[in-house]
Amino acid sequence: MEKVVIIRYAEIHLKGKNRGYFERVFAMNLERSLKGVRHELHRTSGRWLVAKFPEEQAEDVARRVSKVFGVHSYSLGYETGSTLEEIYEAVRLVAPKSGTFKVETHRGYKQYPLNSMEISAEIGARMLEDNPALTVDVHTPAHTVYVDVRQNGVALVFGSYGAGPGGMPVGTAGEGLLLISGGIDSPVAGYMMAKRGLVVELLHFHSYPYTNEGAKEKVVALSKILSAYTGVVRLTTVSVTHIQEEIHKKCAAELNVTLLRRFMFRIAERIAKARGLSCLVTGESLGQVASQTMEGLTSSNAVVTLPVLRPLIGFDKEEIIERAKKMGTYETSILPYEDCCTVFLPEFPATRPKLERIEREEGALDVEALIAESLATAETVRLD
């Protein structure tokens, strides 16, 4: 008998002839999540098992597994032999001491001499005999003991399910560049695209000295939280201070944010193309702020040829906050450090800017020189 973490995957089982590819990437991501922990990972008929880890690290192993995209659910339990005696020895380790319970058996090995109901009845009877404080309730039990009889004389025994993040394994849907600020939205957008299998690199724009080092450190902290789900991430920081100063001096104040975002998209696309990335990702949500109207979004899209993915486009703020809390970025995102979009923020930003006017205002700027100056400030770090 051995303590194990039992992993069940999500959408992968729907794949056809290329299912093996998705499973290989999934296994690689599980191994990556368990880096630094002694363990063995092996597949067993629709399940993955993490075994041979130090018992005191069991909870940590389960926590790491719970953040791997593709995991539908996981359980901390025991792998044991399939005789009733061996199964019951494991059951004793996960069984409740009092209250109502039921035993739920899955018999993957159909040649087993007892069927699922008979196994459950035998195990339940032994539990009642050993512990008079227990009571059977097959409809609404306080506790459930799960028995999963597999092939090759093996059974899995556990007492609960933990929900995984679901989705597809990161690395099965290409690579993209996330424009990450220090706010709530963009880390959630990166999480959601990684959940669909996209490898996400990160790009952060700063306006030092108008924004301080604390703002950059906050983005690094958010990137590290995100890396628990996505694997190692590459974070690039780029200064747009000089661009904002030029816009502020030469262009209509109400277009400051719109013009800045057009520069951000141009710079992001050049970095993405240089690295062979296939799309841009943002945390924009339609109508949330002045620059995220249909006209504002169209203005940004007009300066790039790569697709721009906006996974939060139809979310309201409460939905985004709920997801940020669940993934663990919310408390960091609300730390009081400004991002570059708050610098030179006009009192009344344009909400429905006309593209012709934007292009006319932009004519006062040396666009290519300003982009080149920004790209020269680029710094990249790898975060795990």
Sorting pLDDT into bands at 50, 70 and 90, what band is 345?
low
Sorting pLDDT into bands at 50, 70 and 90, what band is 289?
confident
Q: 145 phi and psi, to 5 degrees? A: -105, 125
Both tokens of 146, joined, read 């799960």
For residue 155, the model assigns a pLDDT of 95
Sorting pLDDT into bands at 50, 70 and 90, what band is 344?
low
- Quick check: 249 pLDDT over 60? yes
Closest listed residue to residue 42, CA positions, set 87, 2, 5, 93 = 5
Task: Match 């706010």 to its residue by tokens.
Answer: 183
Average pLDDT, the chain: 92
For residue 59, the model assigns a pLDDT of 96
Instruction: Determine whether 352 is exposed, middle or buried from the number of CB atoms within 10 Å of its CB (0-12, 13-18, 19+).
Output: exposed
How far apart, in whole angstroms, are the C-alpha atoms of residue 179 and residue 268? Answer: 8
Residues in the chain: 384
**What is the fold of 2-163?**
VC0802-like (3.30.2130)
How does strand 47-51 pair with strand 71-81?
unpaired
**Overall CATH class of domain 175-383:** alpha beta
Tell me where in the chain the CATH 3.30.2130.30 domain(s) lie. 2-163
Closest listed residue to residue 6, CA positions, set 170, 145, 195, 148 = 148
How far apart, in whole angstroms, are the C-alpha atoms of residue 157 and residue 155? Answer: 7
Q: What is the mean pLDDT of residues 128-140?
A: 95
User: What percent of the chain has a predicted confidence (pLDDT) above 70?
Assistant: 97
Q: Supply the DSSP string of 112-180, one letter for each residue.
A: SSS-HHHHHHHHHHHHHHH-TTEEE-SSS-SEEEEEEE-STTEEEEES--EE---S--TTSS-EEEEE-
Task: Match 């032994």 to its residue by tokens.
Answer: 126
For residue 307, the model assigns a pLDDT of 97
User: What percent of the chain has a predicted confidence (pLDDT) above 90?
Assistant: 80
Q: CB-hemisphere CA count at 13 Å for 330? A: 12
CA distances from 94 to 57, 121, 134, 147, 162 (A): 17, 17, 14, 11, 15
- Residue 230's H or E segment, with its range, is helix 213-230
Q: What is the mean pLDDT of residues 58-76?
A: 96
Q: What is the mean pLDDT of residues 113-138?
A: 95
For residue 350, the model assigns a pLDDT of 75
What would the pLDDT profile of 14-55 be if each residue is shown by its tens digit?
A: 777 888 899 999 999 999 999 999 999 998 877 899 999 999
Tell me where in the chain the CATH 3.40.50.620 domain(s) lie. 175-383
What would the pLDDT profile of 81-124 be if each residue is shown by its tens digit?
A: 999 999 999 999 999 999 999 999 999 888 999 999 999 999 99
Q: What is the mean pLDDT of residues 214-229?
A: 92
- Quick check: 168 pLDDT over 60? yes
